[in-house]
Structure 1
Amino acid sequence: MTKKYWECRDVEIPEETRLIINEYLLSLKLANKAENTIVTYRKVLERFYSTNPLPIELLTSANILLWLINFSKDKKERTVDIYVSAFSSFFNFCLAEDYVNHMVIKKRWRPRISKSLPKFLNEQEFARVKMAAEKLSLRDRSLILFLFSSGCRRSEVSNLTIQDVNISRRTAEVKGKGKKIRHVHFSEECALILSEYLSIRSGDKNEALFLNRFGTPLQTGGIYNITTKLGKMAGLTHLLNPHSCRHTFATNMLAKGADVKFIADELGHTNLNTTRVYARIPTEDMILAYQNKMG
């Protein structure tokens, strides 16, 4: 992504409209919204306004709804929901800044999406993955153990430096969404392998925690490739990605009796309802407890 990822440069959009869009996108950046969110919203607005030359103040609900209906024909509900969210956020900004005098986006336009349960590894799958991981290099094995025992997002892991990690205390200082800092924990096994991996490194504390073969920080795509390769090695019938590791961490912690607030803090969730979705998952321990009680 470019350094100024929050800027719209689409010359097909009228300059006056483009200036308002950029003012809005800059407000998201100043509010520490995630880079991916800002880029997504920018692309949504660029796609819409590159085909709708009407000034912002002249757009009506009917104009936008007609465009959404045509756009939605071959799109998934979640994609449509993202577009409605982007429009709603943008026009709320325009309303607050007096660029429009009434809200043109309607809440009823949002598709009703059933919340799917997070995909995680069951006990047998987790055991197979850990056994397969023993065949990996020190870097890859320590990375996998860190993902499973910290619950971090792959972008958070990619941004870690050696000085962010305290091996003896088994903690790491992570910069999460909105550049919020939190402290996460990782397992003793992870600490041992990670220590062994760092022992063959240069010792420069400013280096990325995980390096690629060129000696530069391991990017999110590289982390994704390592997890998917491991999933195949373990014979999983479904994809193993970094988010599966994160979900497995959460469900394992819940099954062990960890408090939802603690899990939320580890995952970097600001809304406890985001974490409570894991309570809907029938883990191995929960199923066993039910069978012992009910037969």
Structure 2
Amino acid sequence: MLLSQAWERYESDKRIEGFSPQTLKAYKLQSGLLIRFFTDAQLDTITTDQLKAYLAKSSETLKPASLAHRIRFMKSLFRWSHEEGHIPKNPAAKIKEPKTGKRIPKFLTEMEIEHLREACCSPMENALFEFMFSTGCRIGEVVTLDRGRINWMNRSAIIRGKGDKEREVYFNIRCEIWLKRYLDNREDRDTAIFVTERDPHRMSIATMRYIIKRISNRAGINKDIHPHQLRHSYATHLLNNGAPLDVIQSLLGHEKSETTRIYAQLSGSIRQECYRKYF
């Protein structure tokens, strides 16, 4: 079996298993690089030493975190190939990821958040900014969110996170005001919560990033601001106001804490109560 054929079958299986479109898109890019390096060789002819040579070449241009991502894909592909009986031995079994130092998340101060708020100049910008900050959602979770997943009575939304898992997130009154104002002004019938300004259709991740960058440029903040900083700022805001760490992890959709302790599952009612109390 050729590498390209293995990838096609692997992708089909992982799609059935519920891998997110974002993960499959990233893995497709990695598969293309792997196939090109090995000129689409037969799967069972690839050795551990050859894979290490590929990674050694990759390490010349990739940071440790990016190299680790490449290794995770490679190990997943060859483990699947071995389990499915396409190869007698897994050549990636003993390959280890590089150690990556833990970085302190970059967050925005309350002053910077207020400057960003003032720099929003349309209901759409205000709604997007407030929703991302007050829910702590990942940008991919906001992109896939539909209007029908909003519970206005509860000021909450059901979003689909990593691993295709659903969770309930909450937003504050300020966000509710701007979100309703934005949606009331729209004339399209697209189901997406956020759509493009011209020829309305579901907003892409790239467009959302551009809008946040546009807002930050107007605000004049001397920082390279990106959407994930709003998520970090959300978590920091809750932590600074006394929210328990396990509640924050639950709201963010993390399975376990950074200190590797077991993730504390909380009921939706407790998470909602803690959100109302601390945000």
Answer yes or no: same fold by TM over 0.5.
yes
| RMSD, matched Cα | 2.3
1:109 Cα deviation (Å)?
4.0
Structure-2 residue corresponding to 1:115:
102
Note the alpha carbon deviations across 1:198-232, whole angstroms, 9 max, x for none.
Answer: 2323495x632222222222222221111111112
Structure-2 residue corresponding to 1:293:
none
Structure-1 residue corresponding to 2:192:
208
Tell me if structure 2 keeps the 8 A contact 1:269–1:275: no
Structure-2 residue corresponding to 1:257:
242
Structure-1 residue corresponding to 2:171:
186
Structure-1 residue corresponding to 2:228:
243
Structure-2 residue corresponding to 1:24:
10
Structure-2 residue corresponding to 1:87:
74
Tell me if structure 2 keeps the 8 A contact 1:211–1:217: yes
Aligned identity (percent) is 26
User: What SS does structure 1 have at the residue aligned with 2:157?
Assistant: strand
Name the larger-Rg structure.
Answer: 1
Instruction: Sort the Cα spacing of 1:100 and 1:120 in 2 relative to 1 into closer, same or farther, 3 A.
Output: same
Structure-2 residue corresponding to 1:153:
138
Question: Which residue identity does 2:226 align to in structure 1?
Answer: N
Of 29, 35, 46, 1:59 maps to 46
Instruction: Sort the Cα spacing of 1:128 and 1:244 in 2 relative to 1 into closer, same or farther, 3 A.
Output: same
User: What SS does structure 2 have at the residue aligned with 1:119?
Assistant: coil
Separation of aligned partners in 2, 1:19 and 1:106: 21
Tell me if structure 1 keeps the 8 A contact 2:156–2:170: yes
Please say if 1:127 is aligned against 2:111: no
Note the alpha carbon deviations across 1:146-180, whole angstroms, 9 max, x for none.
Answer: 11000112222222222221223211121222332
Q: How many residues align?
A: 259
1:248 Cα deviation (Å)?
0.7
Please say if 1:36 is aligned against 2:22: yes
Tell me if structure 2 keeps the 8 A contact 1:172–1:183: yes
Give the TM-score, by structure 2 length.
0.83
Structure-2 residue corresponding to 1:7:
none
1:114 Cα deviation (Å)?
0.7
Tell me if structure 2 keeps the 8 A contact 1:128–1:234: yes
The answer to which of 47-56 and 113-122 deviates more is: 47-56
Structure-2 residue corresponding to 1:47:
33
Of 152, 159, 176, 1:174 maps to 159
1:270 Cα deviation (Å)?
2.4
Structure-1 residue corresponding to 2:268:
none
1:23 Cα deviation (Å)?
1.6
Instruction: Sort the Cα spacing of 1:275 and 1:228 in 2 relative to 1 into closer, same or farther, 3 A.
Output: farther
Structure-2 residue corresponding to 1:6:
none
Give the TM-score, by structure 1 length.
0.79
Instruction: Sort the Cα spacing of 1:67 and 1:247 in 2 relative to 1 into closer, same or farther, 3 A.
Output: same
Instruction: Sort the Cα spacing of 1:147 and 1:100 in 2 relative to 1 into closer, same or farther, 3 A.
Output: same
Instruction: Sort the Cα spacing of 1:60 and 1:128 in 2 relative to 1 into closer, same or farther, 3 A.
Output: same
Tell me if structure 1 keeps the 8 A contact 2:143–2:202: yes
Tell me if structure 2 keeps the 8 A contact 1:167–1:195: no
Tell me if structure 2 keeps the 8 A contact 1:176–1:182: yes
